[in-house]
Amino acid sequence: MSSSHKELTTLLLLLVAIAGHPARCAEVTRIIGGQFASPGQFPHQVSLQLRGRHHCGGSLISDTMIVTAAHCTIGQSPSQMKAVVGTTDLAAGNGQTLDIAQLIIHPQYNPQTQDFDMSLIRLSSPVKLGGAVQTIQLADADANYAADTLATISGFGAINQNLQLPNRLKFAQVQLWSRDFCNAQNIPGLTDRMVCAGHPSGQVSSCQGDSGGPLTVDGKLFGVVSWGFGCGAKGRPAMYTYVGALRSWIKQMANV
């Protein structure tokens, strides 16, 4: 692997340090520039729990299906994971906790490049929809937006370099970056299954524990938190799995 490729892959936003593995994000670890969410503000938000601790984010797309990142589920067992929905505070105990029946990793997922970084999670029983628990609509196949369009990211990611989890859901707005910059020539390893978002200042970004969570535009799921250069690195975007490019696979596997 080239040195430039190693630099690009230094942050898998999951950074399973939260599950006891070494951290690879050297900068401030939170949704950079974020705010705490109000109850019910993100009713599609999922906290994926691994052995009782927050592990990754996800988005509820039906009463039995969740979209997340493949690097959140690869090598994991459904029996050791649970999904928590319907809460903005994991310590409050007011959400629904559900068992997981199946992890469906995209068959073309490449752990080295993070291409096709998407998984579907099938719940063991349907979630009770209503109030603070709602599904999110998926962006259309090949949906696209102009550069600088505002998008929203949300997650229960860590808030400092010690990987302290806040338990409370945070969110922030980021700008979508154009293909004039976000292309394989400028960002080696970028593919058509990825979109870029962030802020030129680096002060707004997703980070550890936010992986697999939603990037939404106009109330639809447009991206899934995947990887980046660090947590809020100046002039560097974060990369999100492009839902529109994998829309047909989601339809095939989840019937959504």
Say how far apart CA 90 and CA 75 lie, in whole Å: 25
Residue 10 has which token pair?
A: 């230094």
Q: Which of 54, 55, 59, 117 is catalytic?
A: 117
Q: Which of 44, 55, 71, 199 is catalytic?
A: 71
180 is catalytic: no
2 is catalytic: no
117 is catalytic: yes
- Centre a 10 Å sphere on the Cβ of residue 20 and count the other Cβ atoms it contains: 10
Say how far apart CA 250 and CA 211 lie, in whole Å: 18
| Contact between residue 214 and residue 154 where contact means Cβ atoms under 8 Å apart | yes
Question: Which is nearest to 133 in space by CA: 63, 49, 181, 187?
Answer: 63
Q: Which of 47, 119, 205, 211 is catalytic?
A: 211
Say how far apart CA 130 and CA 110 lie, in whole Å: 36
| Partners of residue 152 on adjacent β-strands | 173, 216
| The dihedral sign for the CA sequence 82, 88, 92, 93 | negative
- Cβ neighbours for 75, distance < 8 A, ≥ 6 positions apart: none
| Contact between residue 209 and residue 157 where contact means Cβ atoms under 8 Å apart | yes
Helical residues (DSSP H) of the chain, grouped into ranges: 3-8, 70-73, 247-254
Active site residues: 71, 117, 211
